Amino acid sequence: MALMHIPMPSLPIPPSWFPGHMMKFTRMLPALLTRTDVVLEIRDSRLPLTSINRTLEGALQKWRLERGWDPNNPNRRIVNAGACERLVVLNKRDLVPEWGMEPFRRAMAKKFPDQQVLFASWQRPRDIRNLSEILVNVARKHPHAMELNVLVIGMPNVGKSTLLNALRNMGIKGRTPKAFQTSAQPGLTQALSTRLKVCLDPLVYAFDTPGVMLPFLGRGVEGAERGVKLALIAGIKEGLYDMEALASYLLYRLNVLNPISPAYLALLPEGAQPIVDLHDFLEQLARRMGMIKRGAELDTTRAAVYFVRWWREEGGLIAASSALQMGDASVLNPGESRTQGWGFDFQWQLSPEDKPTSKDGDAAIVQGKMEACIDEYLETMEREESGENNLSPTQIKKQQMLEEKLRRKQKHMKR
C-alpha cells in the first residue's frame, strides 16, 4: 500500500564547517583560473543542485567573460583566443535512477546553456572514456596550444580524486600508480595538487583541489535541509550531526522516492509496510538486526547509524533501481496528487492531468517537473543572496566590525 501523506521531519540548525584551507582555496581561485583552460566541476548525482558551490560562481563567470564569452548569450563567444570550457560531471551515477538522467540533462541544458552536463561513475569505463574524449577534443580544437590545463573543483567527498585517478588510468597506457589519495571522509585533499598528466597526445594536465563547503548553509528550513543532505552523502565532517537526525530525513526521502516499496524494506522482516514514524522504524530495524542494549532494550541509536551507513553503500543502489511510476497518475481521482522524486533534490506532485501525449511523453513530463524544481532552486538562491540569509551570525558580526572600523577611519581623516 502506498503512502499518501509523507510529512517532512523537523531538522536541526546546520553547523558551520569551513576550515582555513577552504577559505584559502576560494581566495586563490581567480588567480588559478588565469592559467586554466577547462573547469571540471564534480557534483554528486544524488544532490545535483545542493552540491553546486555557488560561492565559486562569481569567479567562474568572470573567467568566462575575460576569455571572450558573450555576457548576454552564453552560447556565443566574441573572442576565441584559447580554450575556455566548463564541464559539469554528475558523479556516482549508479546511485540515482536511470530514468531521470536524460530529462535532467535536457532541463539543465535549457536552464544553464553555458554548462555541458554528463553523468559518470569511476566504475564504468565507458563514462571515463567519454570524459577523456571530451577533454581530448577540446585540446584538438586549439592545436596551437602546447597543453590543456584542467582545474577540478567541487564540494567535499563528491569523488574528485577518485575520478581523476580513473581518468589518468584511461588516458595513459600501461601501469600507472594511483596519483591521489582518496577517502570516504571529507576534507582529505587540503591543498592544490601538483599537475597530474591525464593524456599524452594531446598533452592534458589536471589539478585536483580541496573540496570547498559553503561558508554558511543558510537559515530556516532550506538551510537545515541543505545541511542534512550534505551530511548524508558524507560531505560534512562526521560527528557534526546526530545520526538520528540524518536517519529521520533519510527515512522521509526514501518514502518520497518510492512510497509503494521504499528501499529500506529490504532491511525489515518480509511483509513489512512503508513507515513514516522514525522511532517505529528504528525499533523494527534494531529488532531485526538483534541490536539489544543491557536490560533487553532495543538499541535504536545503533540502528540509526547502521541505517545511514547502509544507505551510503548498498542501500543507495537499491533506491536507484526503482522504476518510473508515471502510470500511477491514471488511478488518481480528480484533485488528488501523489509525491514523486528523483535523487534528493527533485520532488514534485503527480496529478491525473500528468498523462503522456506522445511516445516520449513520460520523459517530457519528468523534464517539465525538473525544470520547475530548478526554477524554484534559482529563486531560493536569489532570495537568500539578496538578503542576509547567506551570511552566518559570525560573518554578519565581522562585516559590522569592518564597517565600524571604516567609519572611525573616515571620521579621523576629517579632523
The model's pLDDT over 132-172, given as tens digits with 9 standing for 90+, comes to 999 999 999 998 889 999 999 999 989 898 898 899 888 88
Cell numbers describing residue 183:
577517502
Percent of the chain with pLDDT over 70: 84
Name the residue with higher pLDDT: 397 or 376.
Answer: 376
Is the pLDDT score of 179 beyond 70? Answer: no
- Banded model confidence at residue 34, pLDDT cuts 50, 70, 90: very high
Contacts 24+ apart (CB under 8 A), 214-219: 214/18, 214/53, 214/54, 214/55, 215/16, 215/18, 215/23, 215/55, 215/392, 215/395, 216/16, 216/18, 216/390, 216/391, 216/392, 216/395, 217/14, 217/16, 218/14, 218/384, 218/389, 218/390, 219/389
Look up cell 533506491; give the residue.
319
Is 338 in contact with 2 (CB distance < 8 Å)? yes
Average pLDDT, the chain: 86
Instruction: Measure the CA–CA gap between 151 and 29, rounded to whole angstroms.
Output: 10
Instruction: Measure the CA–CA gap between 35 and 205, rounded to whole angstroms.
Output: 12
* Angle, vertex CA 29, rays to CA 28 and CA 35, nearest 5: 105
Of 138, 120, 140, residue with least CA distance to 129: 120
pLDDT of res. 401: 66
What residue type is 409 in one-letter code? K
What is the mean pLDDT of the segment spanning 276-285?
A: 96
What is the mean pLDDT of the segment spanning 337-360?
A: 81
Phi-psi region for residue 57, left (φ > 0), alpha (ψ -120 to 50) or beta?
Answer: alpha
Look up cell 538499541; give the residue.
299
Instruction: Measure the CA–CA gap between 162 and 182, rounded to whole angstroms.
Output: 6
pLDDT of res. 237: 86
The model's pLDDT over 88-118, given as tens digits with 9 standing for 90+, comes to 999 999 999 999 999 999 999 999 998 999 9
- Banded model confidence at residue 211, pLDDT cuts 50, 70, 90: confident
What is the mean pLDDT of the segment spanning 2-15?
A: 84
- Banded model confidence at residue 191, pLDDT cuts 50, 70, 90: low
Instruction: Measure the CA–CA gap between 350 and 325, rounded to whole angstroms.
Output: 10
Which DSSP string corresponds to 353-366? T----STTHHHHHH
Look up cell 552564453; give the residue.
74
What is the mean pLDDT of the segment spanning 49-72?
A: 92
- Banded model confidence at residue 183, pLDDT cuts 50, 70, 90: very low
- Banded model confidence at residue 322, pLDDT cuts 50, 70, 90: confident
- Banded model confidence at residue 187, pLDDT cuts 50, 70, 90: very low
Cell numbers describing residue 137:
577534443
Cell numbers describing residue 146:
602546447
pLDDT of res. 103: 96
* Number of neighbours of residue 237 by Cβ within 10 angstroms: 17
What is the mean pLDDT of the segment spanning 208-225?
A: 89
Which DSSP string corresponds to 254-271? HHHH-SSS-GGGGGSPTT
Name the residue with higher pLDDT: 189 or 27.
Answer: 27
Of 23, 79, 9, 95, residue with least CA distance to 56: 23
The C-alpha R_g of the chain, in whole angstroms, comes to: 23
Domains of the chain are 20-207 (3.40.50.300), 242-378 (no CATH)
Is 152 in contact with 85 (CB distance < 8 Å)? no
Is 193 in contact with 180 (CB distance < 8 Å)? yes
Name the residue with higher pLDDT: 174 or 279.
Answer: 279
pLDDT of res. 356: 65
Instruction: Measure the CA–CA gap between 278 and 246, rounded to whole angstroms.
Output: 11
Of 398, 28, 392, residue with least CA distance to 190: 28
